[in-house]
Amino acid sequence: MAAEQDFTKRKLWGGRFTGSTDPLMHEFNQSLKYDKRMYAADVKGSIAFSKALLKAGILNEQEQKEIERGLKIVESEWAENKFVIQPDDEDIHTANERRLSEIIGKEIGGKLHTGRSRNDQVATDMRIWLMEESNQVESYLKDLLNVMVSRAEKEVDAIMPGYTHLQRAQPVRWSHLLLSHSQSFLGDLDRLRQLQPRISVLPLGSAALAGNPYSLDRELLRQELGFKSIGENSMHAVADRDFIVEWLQWASLLQIHMSRMAEDLIIYSSAEFGFVQLSDAYSTGSSIMPQKKNPDSLELLRGKAGRTFGQMAGFMMSLKGVPSTYNKDLQEDKEPLFDAVDTISAALRIAEGVIATLSINPEKMFAACTMDMLATDIADYLVRKGVPFRETHHISGQSVALAEKNKIQISDLTLDQWKELSPHFTEDVKDVFNFENSVEKRNAIGGPAREMIKRQVDIARQRIGQ
């Protein structure tokens, strides 16, 4: 009889094959260069699986303890950058199992994969890894929100023009603008939290596609690994990547919100506005124009939105034609997800630093407010005197036209000129032309009045702390 080959030196799937793999095919197929970052998740899943094998009678207590001991050594080697990758290590699962058998011997190490497939193993690793990363991303998002909310609370006195169509519209508070962006990020925080239960579905125990034949206790696996629920269909469990699509979609929307905030701050930091100034830590200069201070941090945040959306769209196209159960196309899930997680994590920390360190110029903000921005307040003034709004809107427009004709501000119109427009105008029309009063009158929920800014801050903090 031919001598038995050492399985630690052959591929996990190699028994049916007699020829060698084309080196180019091995490189094309190999994913260890990027999936090695899941080493801790793979070890965690394998230790839990060994405990389930113990309960199922596949392992005895000594064997399970030895497997757990060996896996912890494997994990420490990765953590200390001492793990030696071998040429035939296709992925993190192959590498870890090969190294485990080297440490504890193939007689025990070879039992770990009993009733388990890389199909349910990789799906489990991805979910464990993403659950942990999502918790970290959530903490970064909360840090950003806390900075935004704190600034809004402290800088409530600053009044600036609010814009529609990038045209001056009505006066608002700087705090109101900042909190408008925080509302988008609060929505992102809610959606990330809602996504977590759909990530936390246990695939382990589904094997390749047809389930485990050893009466494996999947509830034990769920508890050991901290999953919220168990995949109810083994064919679906090994193929499901909807949680990755959802995470990429979530990341794309967050990056869109990041991009829109960055665009506002880029515009407001330009010399033409001068409302805000970025700190040197988040700016760069020009290679030939020494006077330049470029908002590169914000421009990069704006640009990363395209990158993240592209990762999401690319993976969805990879996923759309995959037939039932596991197919190697699904290996394309890792690089876009890893890149999106890295991008989002960095973007949130950069955005937090930008917001925390930028300075505002309340004087320039206030100086940019022009009296024509109070045209709606003129209409509101007449409404309070019983004039229908559609009529007041027309009269207010006439006052703007009259001021433009005379090349003056509407606040400089005389009382006689106001009375020519409507007999309802009296001396108190002059009280309209006060930006602070204008803002404070907008005291319904959602408005920029001080009490509403306080309400927004309080509610935001409640949502962040949930």
Whether the pLDDT of residue 62 is over 80: the answer is: yes
Residue 447 within a domain? no
State the residue for tokens 């890893």: 338
Query: What domain range includes position 416?
Result: 371-433
Are the beta carbons of 178 and 383 closer than 8 angstroms?
no
Determine the pLDDT at residue 13: 45
Residue 30 within a domain? yes
Residues belonging to the active site = 165, 286
Residue 57 within a domain? yes
Residue 223 within a domain? no
pLDDT digits (tens, 9 = 90+) for 247-278: 999 999 999 999 999 999 999 999 999 999 99
Does residue 165 sit in the same domain as residue 295? yes
Nearest C-alpha neighbor of 238 from the set 116, 96, 110: 116
Q: With bands split at pLDDT 50, 70 and 90, how would you rate the model's confidence at 75? A: very high
Residue 443 within a domain? no
CATH of the domain at 38: 1.10.275.10
Per residue, the 3-state secondary structure of 132-165, as one string, reads HHHHHHHHHHHHHHHHHHHHHHHCCCCEEEEEEC
Determine the pLDDT at residue 292: 64
Q: With bands split at pLDDT 50, 70 and 90, how would you rate the model's confidence at 7? A: very low
pLDDT digits (tens, 9 = 90+) for 389-431: 999 999 999 999 999 999 999 999 999 999 999 999 999 999 9
Residue 65 within a domain? yes
**Secondary structure letter of residue 1 according to DSSP:** -
Whether the pLDDT of residue 160 is over 70: the answer is: yes
Determine the pLDDT at residue 260: 97
Residue 466 within a domain? no
Whether the pLDDT of residue 67 is over 80: the answer is: yes
Average pLDDT value for residue range 97-126:
96
Total number of domains in the chain: 3
Does residue 26 sit in the same domain as residue 169? no
Beta strand spans in 78-222 (E): 159-164, 167-173, 201-202
CATH of the domain at 298: 1.20.200.10
Residue 340 within a domain? yes
| Helices 334-357 + 296-319 axis angle, to 10 | 160
Does residue 131 sit in the same domain as residue 72? no
State the residue for tokens 């704190």: 150
Does residue 92 sit in the same domain as residue 142? no
Report in angstroms the alpha-carbon separations of 341 from 192, 355, 391: 13, 21, 54
Q: SS3 of 168, please?
A: strand
Boundary (domain end) residue, out of 84, 99, 114: 114
Does residue 174 sit in the same domain as residue 42? no
Burial class (CB in 10 A: 0-12, 13-18, 19+), 43: buried
What is the distance between the alpha carbons of residues 461 and 174, in angstroms, rounded to a whole number? 18
What is the distance between the alpha carbons of residues 380 and 438, in angstroms, rounded to a whole number? 10
Does residue 62 sit in the same domain as residue 145? no
Boundary (domain end) residue, out of 114, 144, 178: 114
How many other CB atoms sit within 10 Å of the CB of residue 157? 12
Determine the pLDDT at residue 73: 98
Does residue 325 sit in the same domain as residue 193? yes
Does residue 201 sit in the same domain as residue 75? no
Average pLDDT value for residue range 428-451:
96
Boundary (domain end) residue, out of 90, 114, 138: 114
Does residue 22 sit in the same domain as residue 137? no
What is the distance between the alpha carbons of residues 21 and 48, in angstroms, rounded to a whole number? 33
Average pLDDT value for residue range 219-247:
98
Beta strand spans in 206-353 (E): 229-230, 276-277
Whether the pLDDT of residue 290 is over 90: the answer is: no
Of the chain, the percentage scoring pLDDT greater than 90 comes to 88
Nearest C-alpha neighbor of 377 from the set 420, 444, 439: 439
Does residue 50 sit in the same domain as residue 182? no
What is the pLDDT of the chain when averaged over all its residues? 93
pLDDT digits (tens, 9 = 90+) for 345-392: 999 999 999 999 999 999 999 999 999 999 999 999 999 999 999 999
Of the chain, the percentage scoring pLDDT greater than 70 comes to 93
Whether the pLDDT of residue 11 is over 60: the answer is: no
Determine the pLDDT at residue 359: 96
